[in-house]
Structure formats: C-alpha cells, structure tokens
Amino acid sequence: MKKLALPAALLLAPLLASCTTGATTSATTDDAASTAPPPAAAGEVHWSYEGDEGPDEWGHLADEFAECEQGDAQSPIDLPEHAGQKLAQHPRIESSPTVGESVDTGHTVQLVPDGDASRVEWKDETFDLAQVHFHVPSEHTVEGEPADAEFHFVHTAQDGQALVLGVLAEEGDENAAWQPFIDGAAAPGATDLPIDVAAMLPEDPTFEEYAGSLTTPPCTEGVEWVVYHTPVELSADQIEALEAAYADNARPVQPQGDRVAHEGTVRVVEH
C-alpha cells in the first residue's frame, strides 16, 4: 500500500494538539501560514459527538476542519473479517514497561507514558508511543458490527508520520493488564500508572492495515492504521468504568473508496 507521508508540520501538530491535549487547532505549512488568516486559538472551536457540533458538521465548524468532510481517506472504516490481500512486510513492536499519567482531553481520557513504552519499526520508519486513548463503542467495525470499545495506541515518527495501533475490546473476563488504564479513566490526573504495551495487546498478532486519518478534528489524513483482528476481553465492570468516563464518543465509519485493507501479523519484542 502506498505510504501517505506528510510534512511534520502538517501531520504531527494536529495529531498532538487534538489527540494529546484535546485542543482543536489548525496546522499549516510555513508557506500557507504566511498568506492565510491566523488559525483559531486552541480550544476556540468546539466540537462534539452529537447535534450541531457532531461528526456530520465537523467539516463546517472551522476552515481547518474541512478535511473531515472533503477528505477521501478518512477513518474509521468498516473492516472485513479477513482481508483478501496479505502484507509482505510486518511491523516490529518493542515494548518496555513504564508508567504514565491519565489526561482528560474533554473527549476521552488518555494514558500518556513518562518513558519509552513502545516503539514500532515498519516501512523504514520508527514510531514512538505518544499516548493511548479510548472510544465507546468502537470506531472501526468488522463486517458492520462495532465492538464494545476501542483503544488507540498513537505513535509518531520524527518526520511527522503517524501510526495508530487499534485494539478492539469485547465484554468477557477481567483484564489485569488494562486495569491501570481503567483506573486512570476513572480518575484523570492520576500518575505513576503502569503501562505494559505487550501485555495490553491481543495475543493473536493478526491485524488489518490501511491508510486513513485522525478520527477527531481536524481529521488529518496520512495516518497508517494497524487494527488488531482479535479483540481483547474486558469485564463488564471495566467497560462500565470507560462508559462512566465517556460514552458515545465514536466517529461513525467513513467511505472506504478505493482503499484496500491488507492482513499481516505483528512481532512483539519485550525489554
């Protein structure tokens, strides 16, 4: 699949602004900034998941959100149960247990690592984990069916390229590896929460990969998506804790167009 590389100023800034801090700012290149009006300050453009500021209207709320409506490679999408095409290359994930802080963005709760929690090596790029956040129900669907929740491990490279590991979650047994995240969702601002990415990922290394976008404004495209095939299990209490923090914070699936999902497997190395 063709890699949609974008300049760092165009991709990394909105990713960290909207996904790490919850702010909704625009990101422009130096050339565009010299001729365009100043962008809205962080927090000036309010968006939500319902009503007049919901997903159907994001593209009209601000010029810097136009890609939410005009983009042709938007996320999330409906994934096949099994992709017909296989990847020749497979990502390598290096996982190192560390700790982090939970941050309420106003649209979800993130777990932000204090150290190097995970690193993904793929397609001649190295992506470092910036944060993990959740959506209830899942944003990606499989054959039209959503999961109970979805977690996004947002990774970024130095050149601004972004890669997101998507992990679906279904109700089942209690999951000890995810409990620190659940605790942080229930108490934003908590610190020293353990993060063990290798333990948080599904045991089945199979995934679906496609080229997409951020799922929140400004919906910047050029994001590499790796969505695990098999969901993790969370107990009913763990899912209820996520719903108590934020419920119905999922963007609906977007047109897939001529994009094709490819199937591959992940190699995880623990340190």
Q: What is the mean pLDDT of residues 141-165?
A: 96
Contact 19, 164 (CB under 8 A): no
Tell whether 1 is covered by a domain: no
CA dist 258 → 21, 42, 212, 234 (Å): 33, 34, 12, 34
pLDDT at 43: 52
Name the residue range of residue 205's domain: 8-34+45-270
Tell whether 101 is covered by a domain: yes
pTM, entire model: 0.85
Confidence category of residue 7, pLDDT binned at 50, 70, 90:
very low
Mean of per-residue pLDDT scores for the chain:
86
Calpha distance 16→257 (Å, rounded): 27
Q: What is the mean pLDDT of residues 164-174?
A: 98
> Model confidence over 203-255: pLDDT tens digits?
999 999 999 999 999 999 999 999 999 999 999 999 999 999 999 999 999 99
pLDDT at 24: 34
Tell whether 240 is covered by a domain: yes
> Model confidence over 109-149: pLDDT tens digits?
999 999 899 999 998 899 999 999 999 999 999 999 999 99
Q: What is the mean pLDDT of residues 135-164?
A: 96
Tell whether 234 is covered by a domain: yes
Strands (E), the chain: 78-79, 85-86, 92-95, 98-104, 109-113, 118-122, 125-135, 141-142, 145-146, 149-156, 162-171, 193-195, 206-213, 221-228, 232-234, 262-265, 267-270
Residue that wins the pLDDT comparison between 34 and 76: 76
C-alpha 157: how far from chain center:
15
Tell whether 224 is covered by a domain: yes
% of residues, the chain, pLDDT over 70 = 84
Calpha distance 176→162 (Å, rounded): 28
Tell whether 2 is covered by a domain: no
pLDDT at 81: 82
Assigned token pair, 153: 């491990």
Other CB atoms within a 10 A radius of the CB of residue 218 amount to: 30
Q: Is there a cis peptide before residue 255, judged by omega within 30 degrees of 0?
A: no
pLDDT above 80 (res 45): yes
pLDDT above 60 (res 26): no
The total of structural domains in the chain comes to 1
The residue type of 17 is: A
Tell whether 180 is covered by a domain: yes
Tell whether 3 is covered by a domain: no
CATH number, domain with residue 105: 3.10.200.10
Calpha distance 126→118 (Å, rounded): 10
Calpha distance 226→120 (Å, rounded): 11
pLDDT above 60 (res 154): yes
% of residues, the chain, pLDDT over 90 = 74
pLDDT at 82: 76
Confidence category of residue 85, pLDDT binned at 50, 70, 90:
confident
